[in-house]
């Protein structure tokens, strides 16, 4: 029942095509019903021939031919083609909505789950779900057809009918024994598939580090270990299926022989006629096929239930709640940010912030400094709502950022990280992602404001240059400046710089510094920095220690009044 309940989640995708599904089911039923008559028509034709009634034999055979041509050749082909088309549509929809839903997950989900697991859920699991409809309908049709045939068999011989029920019961017992084993084995194999996908994804993204660090063989060693475990899990699953297939094959053989022997005995004692005997030579194989289909679908079903469970964990928020946003819009922000008694800690860690209070004014260059692990970057994670505080409020122009719409929050607050993410598209397309209506003239203006125009003019394809995955074709400073230009195009009021110049050369650092100084005139600019030399001209510097502001002022004021700041500055000078 639990598995069937999981399948109910697919209804939202299937209901749009319910009438087509009903048509397909009718076609499959018609195909099944035609098979009910196949055995009877052939048996009746043979009996008519033995009785020298050629006319009736031709009528039976002609009816059989018409059914085969119309239903099996034409109607069944139409139904199968329609089903394949719907399956392909559902595959695309499931992949899209699983992907869309994953983008609504909180940041915690992407920290706790590997990239390989999320990728497999979106692509492989979603695809396996949609392609389960054909075997499901085929098996249901076989069960319906077999049930109708069983009624016909009982009418002619209750002995053979009971014999068939006995074999069906034995099959049911086998399924009860092996299905849980198959499901668990498939789930375990999926886990290792996730691990190998994660490793490959990580290796592709980090190929430069792998080469320059000389860790190729360490990575290969990890892959061999995972592949070996995956092989063992796959082998275990194959062995379970092999045992199950041996039992079902033996069951099929015993059923065929025993029913034919019973038919011969009953025919000898004239308890069944020739028509029924010939029909049984067809119908017994219908039950053989049923066992094969149940066997095949049982194995498919275990895969599907694992897949739907994994997809539903995303679609139905079973692991994580979606990000929630408010209804307040902020169209003309001033840019005042205020932390009011904010408490926060990461999972399984002590409090990072404890009763944190801070007001940040706009149109100034604000810096936040402190030792590592004191909560500087956490402030940015909270302002951008990558995480939410456990207590307290963060206000933008007096409005709790939790009450802002997603559009207002994302539009008005931008962050430029130490390693900005650049999409594997052209320079132009990286901007078009923000607004498809951006003109080349506007993009050039923002690029010029970020002091990147001179570099782009040297490129063969200029603004149509593809930047590679993660902007691999750009230097660190160029990524930073492109990220600044992208933020300017976004027109955010609040701009956060997270260690934006800590690893840049002097020339790149000077470019970034110029950009920041210009932005500070009409934006709220907040800089988190380790290198104090990059922020000594800030209007206000806040010193963070143990999750609280312990000192504020200009560089000169803090050198006089803050022991922590003095030590930070002396350490850097040394």
Residue 574 has what pLDDT? Answer: 47
Asked if 256 and 344 sit in the same domain, the reply is no
Specify whether 293 is located in the same domain as 342: no
Closest CA to 30 of 85, 65, 60, 68: 68
The answer as to whether 237 is a domain residue is yes
| CATH number, residue 90 | 1.20.1560.10
Q: What residue ranges in 77-157 does DSSP mark as E strands?
A: none
How do 391-396 and 337-344 pair as beta strands?
antiparallel
- Which residues have CB under 8 Å from 170's CB, separation 6+? 251
Contact (CB, 8 A) for 388 and 382: yes
From residue 216, alpha-carbon distances to 175, 194, 213, 229, 293 in Å are 46, 21, 8, 20, 46
16 and 114 housed in the same domain: yes
- Confidence (pLDDT) at 148: 77
- 290 and 434 housed in the same domain: no
Relative to beta strand 524-528, strand 364-369 is parallel
Last residue of a domain, one of 283, 315, 347: 315
- Supply the CATH number for residue 364's domain: 3.40.50.300
- Count of domains in the chain? 2
Residue 328 included in any domain: no
Task: List the beta bridge partners of residue 553.
Answer: 541
* 327 located within any domain: no
**How far is 197 from 109, CA to CA, in rounded Å?**
17
| 210 part of a folded domain | yes
Using DSSP's 3-state secondary structure scheme, residue 545 falls into: strand
pLDDT of residue 204: 60
Nearby residues of 487 by Cβ (< 8 Å), 6 or more positions away:
414, 416, 495
CB 303 within 8 A of CB 128: yes
Residue 139 lies in a domain: yes
How is residue 321 annotated by DSSP?
P
The reply to whether 438 and 504 lie within a common domain is yes
> Which residue among 315, 345, 361 closes a domain?
315
Q: Are residues 302 and 389 in the same domain?
A: no
pLDDT at 1: 46
Q: Exposed, middle or buried by CB within 10 Å (0-12, 13-18, 19+), for 303?
A: buried
3-state per-residue secondary structure call for 471-523 = HCCCCHHHHHHHHHHHHHHHCCCEEEEECCCCCCCHHHHHHHHHHHHHHCCCC
Cα–Cα distance between 294 and 171 in angstroms, integer?
Answer: 9
What is each CA distance from 16 to 7, 78, 291, in whole angstroms? 16, 20, 33
Residue 359 to residue 243: CA distance in whole angstroms? 69
Q: Last residue of a domain, which of 315, 346, 376? A: 315
Residue 487, domain member (yes or no) = yes
350 and 250 belong to one structural domain: no
Q: Are 464 and 427 in contact (CB under 8 A)?
A: yes
pLDDT at 523: 80
Instruction: Report if residue 326 sits inside a domain.
Output: no
522 phi and psi, to 5 degrees? -140, 25
Asked if 495 and 527 sit in the same domain, the reply is yes
Residue 112's pLDDT is 65
One domain, residues 51 and 181: yes
pTM over 0.85: no
Residues 345 and 472 in one domain: yes
Q: Are residues 432 and 515 in the same domain?
A: yes
Q: Residue 164 is part of which domain span?
A: 2-315
Q: Give 319's DSSP letter.
A: S
**What average pLDDT values come out for the chain (574 residues) when binned by 10 residues?**
56 73 77 72 77 80 77 75 78 76 70 67 68 69 76 84 84 78 76 72 61 61 75 80 81 82 84 79 72 66 68 69 79 84 76 80 83 75 83 86 84 79 79 80 82 79 76 72 80 78 60 70 80 77 82 84 79 58
Residue 331 lies in a domain: no
> If we measure between CA atoms, which residue out of 237, 117, 539 comes closest to residue 366?
539
Task: Supply the DSSP symbol for 328.
Answer: B
Q: Are 302 and 207 members of one domain?
A: yes
């Amino acid at each position: 029942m639990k598995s069937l309940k999981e399948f109910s989640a697919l209804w939202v995708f299937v209901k749009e095509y319910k009438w087509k599904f009903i048509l397909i089911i009718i076609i499959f039923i018609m195909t099944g019903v035609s098979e009910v008559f196949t055995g009877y028509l052939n048996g009746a034709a043979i009996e008519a021939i033995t009785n020298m009634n050629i006319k009736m034999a031709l009528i039976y055979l002609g009816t059989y031919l018409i059914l085969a041509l119309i239903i099996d050749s034409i109607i069944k082909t139409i139904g199968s083609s329609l089903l394949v088309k719907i399956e392909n549509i559902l595959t695309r929809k499931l992949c899209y909505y699983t992907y869309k839903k994953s983008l609504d997950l909180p940041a915690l989900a992407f920290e706790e789950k590997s990239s390989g697991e999320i990728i497999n859920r979106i692509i492989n699991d979603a695809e396996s779900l949609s392609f389960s409809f054909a075997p499901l309908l085929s098996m249901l049709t076989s069960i319906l057809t077999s049930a109708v045939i069983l009624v016909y068999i009982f009418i002619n011989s209750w002995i053979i009918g009971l014999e068939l029920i006995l074999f069906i019961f034995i099959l049911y017992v086998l399924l009860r024994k092996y299905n849980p084993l198959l499901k668990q084995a498939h789930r375990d194999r999926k886990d290792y598939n996730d691990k190998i996908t994660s490793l490959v994804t990580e290796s592709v993204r980090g190929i430069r580090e792998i080469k320059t660090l000389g860790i190729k063989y360490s990575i290969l060693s990890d892959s061999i270990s995972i592949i070996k475990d995956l092989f063992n899990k796959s082998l275990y699953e194959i062995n379970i299926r092999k045992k199950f297939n041996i039992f079902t094959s033996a069951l099929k053989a015993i059923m065929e022989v025993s029913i034919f022997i019973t038919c011969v005995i009953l025919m000898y004692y004239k308890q069944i006629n020739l028509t029924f005997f010939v029909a049984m030579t067809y119908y017994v194989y219908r039950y053989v096929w049923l066992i094969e289909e149940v066997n095949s679908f049982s194995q498919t079903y275990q895969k599907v239930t694992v897949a739907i469970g994994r997809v539903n964990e995303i679609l139905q928020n079973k692991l994580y709640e979606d990000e929630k946003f408010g209804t307040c819009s902020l169209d003309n922000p001033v840019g005042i940010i205020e932390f009011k008694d904010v408490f926060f800690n990461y999972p399984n860690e002590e409090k990072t912030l404890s009763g944190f209070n801070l007001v940040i004014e706009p149109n100034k260059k604000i810096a936040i400094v402190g030792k590592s692990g004191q909560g500087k970057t956490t402030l940015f994670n909270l302002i951008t709502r990558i995480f939410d505080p456990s207590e307290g409020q963060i206000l933008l122009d007096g409005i709790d950022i939790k009450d802002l719409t997603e559009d207002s929050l994302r539009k008005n607050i931008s962050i430029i990280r130490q390693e900005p993410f650049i999409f594997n598209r052209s320079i132009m397309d990286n901007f078009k992602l923000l607004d498809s209506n951006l003109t080349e003239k506007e993009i050039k203006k923002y690029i010029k404001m970020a002091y990147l125009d001179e570099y782009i003019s040297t490129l063969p394809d200029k603004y149509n240059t593809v930047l590679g995955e993660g902007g691999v074709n750009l230097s660190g400073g160029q990524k930073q400046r492109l990220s600044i230009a992208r933020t300017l195009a976004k027109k955010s009021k609040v701009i956060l710089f997270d260690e934006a110049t800590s690893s840049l050369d002097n020339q790149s650092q000077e470019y970034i510094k110029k950009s920041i100084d210009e932005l500070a005139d009409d934006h709220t600019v907040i800089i988190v920095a380790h290198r104090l030399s990059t922020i000594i001209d800030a209007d206000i510097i806040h010193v963070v220690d143990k999750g609280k502001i312990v000192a504020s002022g200009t560089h000169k004021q803090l050198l006089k009044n803050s022991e922590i700041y003095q030590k930070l500055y002396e350490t850097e000078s040394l």
